[in-house]
Amino acid sequence: MLRKIGGVLKLLGAATATGVLAAAVALPAVGGAGMTVNAATNELRLLPEPLKEPPLAEKTTLLDADGKQFAQFYFQNRESVKIDEVADIMKTAIVAIEDDRFYEHGAIDLEGTFRAAARNVSGGGVVQGGSSITQQYVKLVLVNAAETKEKQEAAQAPTLSRKLNELRYALYAEEKYTKSEILEKYLNISYYGAGAYGIQAASKRFFDKPASKLNLWEAATLAGAVQNPSVTDPDAGKAARTRLLERRNTVLNRMAELGKITPQEAEEAKKKKLGFKDVEAPGGCEESKYPYFCLYVQHEIALNEDFGKTPKDREKLLQRGGLTITTTLDAKAQKAANKAIKRYVKASDKPVAAQAMIVPGTGAVTVMAASRKYGNNKKKNEISYNLVGDRDHAGGAGFQAGSTFKPFTLLTALDQGMKLGDGFATGDGYTASSPSAFRDCKGNSVGDVGHTVHNSSESSGGFKTLTTGTLGSVNTFFLRLEQEVGLCETVKMAKSLGIKRADGGKLKEFETFTLGINEMDPVTVSAAYAAIAARGTYCKPMVITESLDRDGKKTSYKPKCKQVLDEEVADAAAHIMSGVFTRGTMQEVGGIGRPAAGKTGTTDAYTAAWFAGFTPDLASAVSLGDPRGAFKYDLTGVTIGGRYYGYVYGASISGRIWKDAMLGALKGVEATSFTPVNMERFGGCSGRCAPKPPPKPDRGGGDDRGGDRDRGGPDDDGEVGRDINGGATADPDRGGPDDDGWGGW
């Protein structure tokens, strides 16, 4: 019998010329003790069989624009490493306890199996492994490849057929790989407990160091953990840690017994405490430093076919693919936004502030910030969706955008040939003259003759031009302007700049479209305003610049941009909107010391408050509203950030957050100027000029200037002294900016 065993051992050391191997003697239940090697081979057909080895589940890492990690996703927390990145003492320890003859035998070690069985019987339990490392690797491959619980159980079932298949695969692995390669694969695939897969993740999780830095007692600990990690998992409590410590000492004893270390070294190592550092390996966006940006990236991958044909494929790649994804996140700007929001809105407040920043001309999203922490703990006032993005990116329903929509009507008017000084006489209320005064893009008459829209307390009626109507944010003027240029044309303009509802529904095309009745998210509004800053070039919001797969293959992603608007039209709009800081609804807050433009957004009944603005280098939008229900919980009589507000306007909080955040984000960035407006094309007025004031009686000596309230020179319309009828505007020109609108910075 021993001769037969010896013959089989030699056969299993290497494949024969025909690749036929025999191992029947290792399976005494088959055929009886008298079966010969050849008979066993013919009976069991023990030929090497190719093993399908799906890529191991590797974690995906998200990096900011500077290459610093801010999030990771994983199905299994694993970082595969090369064998030379593992400490030699770790290799010695795992071989000593699991398969001490690993370098001497082939796919199976009968001598080691019989010896292990004897030791386990005498020890009263599993002291030493019986399966070879190659066999264990095969088993783990099969388990990892199983996608259902039933298949996983079948891959580990104690059946003869399963063991035979395992052996066939092991024979193949021994032919295909060197011993060093097999050990590397084994170390990377094994589970060590505490959520750590692979030696590198385990070393970091247990001891806060890479596998290359492991010492003797640490290596013995991880080698001991492999056998039954569910029993020795240090996360499971004190009893499990005690068992792990005992198992570590068993490994040390075996290493000394084999002469790999001295008895003295073993005793010294056994005196060490377990030393489990419990280093967390946060996964998912809840654990990220920048959770809202993380959520946006996660869902962008789910939507992008570059990462897989189906959503399921993309999710699998995210959690298992081992990608390294470089994003557009600007940590400096993100910190500035977080700081600005925290200054004005507390995390405990019911209303929530959210901000996005986007680079004009590329669509690169650099910031996504919000006042509340992301999470599911309602007692801590956490919120479980993306406050900054739309529903496609894990967002909610958004908030009505208010007067931040008025620039879309302004752009439409400029695009149709209106000039800065063109306007209308408006009252304090506006009622559609007929249902057909407004038509949606399907041709339906949607004018509401039964409802009168009034101006807010920030603005008044009178003759308003494109400039003064915008700076004063006059509701009645913009409804009259929208009627003039067309509701559908205004909707099309907004859509061309990427405007879509946060909830994914169709835009509401009613006469009040220009007043911002549609619910929006900060990313979408920022991208639209960035298009104005980029002289009419709209770029789809972009958060991923590069992905690197586990094999080192790099894929770069370029901006997706399109010229959607006449450059000079965008320049004229920026020119008008730049006055918001000096003569408009943001004059009490002021500008940021460089060319900038923007628009406040106070909604009807104060349900939400916005500010959106831009420089040539950066665009941003800030929303403020109560996610419990903006109409039920409006922004009147509220305390936010420890301060009481009777009414919250766009400039009250959102505008201040925008200013502080932009100052921080642009610190150290050289200021860029807007392209000056083409005054030959847009200066003055055409057929919609303001009526001239009646001449004043000549009181002797002076020239006739009495009708010009603007004592500092031409007003922003380019028409001297004409913007006076119907009462003072909300933003009288006190003599600062000159006719081109660039003064006051």
pLDDT of the residue at 457: 58
Whether 3 has a pLDDT exceeding 70, the answer reads no
- The pTM of the full predicted model, rounded to 2 decimals, is 0.78
Of the candidates 275, 115, 125, the residue with the CA atom closest to the CA atom of residue 207: 275
Q: Are residues 15 and 148 in the same domain?
A: no
What's the first-to-final CA gap in the chain, in angstroms? 98
For 157, the token pair is: 């079932």
- 8 A C-beta contact, residue 344 and residue 322: no
Higher pLDDT, 695 or 528: 528
Q: How many Cα atoms are found within 13 Å in the side-chain-facing hemisphere of 58?
A: 18
Q: 270, 301, 319 — which closes off a domain?
A: 270
CB-based contacts of 306, cutoff 8 Å, min separation 6: 555, 557
- Cα separation, 60 vs 548, whole angstroms: 10
Residue 709 — φ and ψ, nearest 5°? -70, -20
Number of Cβ within 10 Å of residue 571's Cβ equals 20
pLDDT at 722 over 90: no
User: pLDDT confidence of 372, banded at 50, 70, 90?
Assistant: very high
pLDDT score of 112: 55
- Give Cα separations from 73 to 69, 241, 297, 669 (angstroms): 12, 27, 11, 33
Asked if residue 430 has pLDDT above 50, the reply is yes
Contact at 8 Å (CB) between 586 and 655?
A: yes
Residues 6+ apart with CB under 8 A from 138: 51, 166, 169, 170, 173
- The pLDDT score that the predictor gives to residue 346 is 96
Tokens of 70: 């801010």
Taking the C-alpha atoms of residue 445 and residue 438, their distance in angstroms, rounded to an integer, is 6
Report the pLDDT value the prediction gives residue 44, as an integer from 0 to 100.
59
Residue scoring higher pLDDT (541 or 310):
541
- Which pLDDT belongs to residue 129? 45
Sign, CA torsion 192/195/198/200 = negative
Residue 182 lies in a domain: yes
Report the DSSP pairing between strands 60-63 and 324-327: parallel
Find, among 715, 721, 730, 734, the residue nearest to 691 by Cα: 721
List pLDDT tens digits, range 341-357. Answer: 999 999 999 999 999 99
**Which is more confident, 155 or 584?**
584
Model confidence over 140-152: pLDDT tens digits? 999 888 777 777 7
Position 35 scores a pLDDT of 41
- If asked whether residues 178 and 35 sit together in one domain, one would say no
User: Is 396 strand, coil or helix?
Assistant: coil
Pair 160, 104 in one domain: yes
Boundary (domain end) residue, out of 248, 270, 292: 270
The answer to whether residues 85 and 34 belong to one domain is no
Please work out, in degrees rounded to the nearest 5, the angle formed at the alpha carbon of residue 665 by the alpha carbons of 662 and 667.
100
Sheet containing strand 608-614, edge to edge, reads 365-370, 352-358, 619-625, 608-614, 597-602
Label each residue of 138-165 as H, E or C.
HHHHHHHHCCCHHHHHHCCCCCHHHHHH
523 exposure class (CB count in 10 Å sphere: 0-12, 13-18, 19+): buried
Confidence of residue 119 (pLDDT cuts 50, 70, 90): low
CATH code at 113?
1.10.3810.10
Compute CA distances 260 → 119, 182, 217, 245, 251, whole Å. Answer: 19, 21, 13, 20, 11
Q: Are 79 and 200 in contact (CB under 8 A)?
A: yes
DSSP state of 58: B
Does position 371 have pLDDT exceeding 90, yes or no? yes
Please, which residues have CB within 8 angstroms of residue 403's CB and are 6 or more apart in sequence? 473, 475, 515, 516, 599, 600, 601, 602, 603, 610, 650
Residues 38 and 152 in one domain: no
The whole-angstrom separation of Cα 654 and Cα 601 is 9
DSSP label at residue 667:
T
Q: Give the residue with greater pLDDT, 442 vs 428.
A: 442
What b/e string do you get for 504-522 counting C-beta neighbours within 10 Å, with b at 16 or more?
eeebebbbbbbbbbbbbbb
What is the bridge-based pairing of β-strands 519-520 and 399-400? antiparallel
Q: Is residue 264 part of a domain?
A: yes
pLDDT over 60 (residue 103) = yes
Residues of the domain holding 254: 81-195+205-270
Domain count across the chain: 2
In tens, the pLDDT along 474-490 reads 999 999 999 999 999 99
Give the percent of the chain with pLDDT over 70.
Answer: 83
Q: Is there a contact between 451 and 431 (Cβ–Cβ < 8 Å)? A: yes
The pLDDT of residue 157 is 77
Pairing of strands 537-539, 77-78: unpaired
Strand partners, 489: none
**Which backbone phi and psi does 669 adopt, to 5 degrees?**
-95, 125
| In a shared domain, residues 158 and 216 | yes
Helix (H) or strand (E) holding 524: helix 522-533
Nearest to 446 by CA among 482, 474, 409, 416: 482
Hey, what long-range contacts does 370-378 have (CB within 8 A, 24 or more apart)? Answer: 370/292, 370/341, 371/341, 371/342, 371/345, 371/346, 371/347, 372/347, 373/291, 373/347, 374/285, 374/286, 374/291, 374/292, 374/295, 375/286, 376/286
Look-up of token digits 């063109």:
422
- Clarify whether residues 15 and 103 are in a common domain: no
* pLDDT tens string 636-645: 999 999 999 9
Q: Residue 487: name the closest of 497, 479, 498 by CA.
A: 479
In this model, does residue 389 exceed pLDDT 50? yes
Q: Say whether both 29 and 100 belong to one domain.
A: no
Q: What's the confidence (pLDDT) of residue 708? A: 31
pLDDT band with cut points at 50, 70 and 90 for residue 23: very low
Instruction: Please check whether residue 411 lies inside any domain of the structure.
Output: no
For residue 463, is it within any domain? no
Which residues are CB-contacts of 8 (< 8 A; sequence separation ≥ 6)? 22, 23, 24, 25, 26, 37, 110
Distances (CA, A) of 745 to 40, 248, 304, 595: 92, 70, 42, 7
Segment among 34-43, 225-234, 267-276, 539-548 with least mean pLDDT: 34-43
Please tell me the chain's helix, strand, coil percentages from 3-state DSSP, rounded to the nearest 5. 40, 15, 45
* Confidence (pLDDT) at 480: 95
- Dump pLDDT digits (tens) for 569-626: 999 999 999 999 999 999 999 999 999 999 999 888 899 999 999 999 999 999 999 9
- Quick one: what percent of the chain has pLDDT higher than 90? 64
Whether residues 92 and 226 fall in one domain: yes
Has residue 43 got a pLDDT over 60?
Answer: no
Indicate the residue type of 297.
V
One domain, residues 94 and 39: no
In this structure, the answer to whether residues 24 and 134 fall within a common structural domain is no
How many whole angstroms separate alpha carbon 152 and alpha carbon 137? 15
Mean pLDDT of the chain: 84
Tell me, yes or no, whether 245 lies in a domain: yes
For residue 451, give every residue at least 6 positions away whose Cβ sits within 8 Å of its Cβ, in sequence order, or none. 431
* pLDDT at position 653 over 60: yes
Is-contact 368 390, C-beta < 8 A?
no
Whole-number Å distance between alpha carbons of 692 and 356: 44
Cβ neighbour number for residue 309 with a 10 Å cutoff: 8
Check if the beta carbon of residue 538 is closer than 8 Å to that of residue 556: no
pLDDT in tens, 448-479: 998 999 887 555 668 999 999 999 999 999 99
In terms of phi and psi (left: phi > 0; alpha: psi -120 to 50; beta: otherwise), the region of 555 is beta
Sole residue written with tokens 């599911």: 376
Q: Are residues 34 and 88 in the same domain?
A: no
Instruction: Give me the numbers of helices (H) and strands (E) for the chain, helices first please.
Output: 24, 23
Average pLDDT over residues 657-669: 97
Q: CA-to-CA distance for 599 and 620, rounded, in angstroms?
A: 11
Last residue of a domain, one of 224, 239, 270: 270
Angstrom distance (rounded) from CA 171 to CA 177: 10
**Tell me: the pLDDT tens digits for 251-264?**
999 999 999 999 99
Q: Say if 707 falls within a structural domain.
A: no
Read off the pLDDT of each residue in 287-301 and give the average, rounded to a whole number: 92
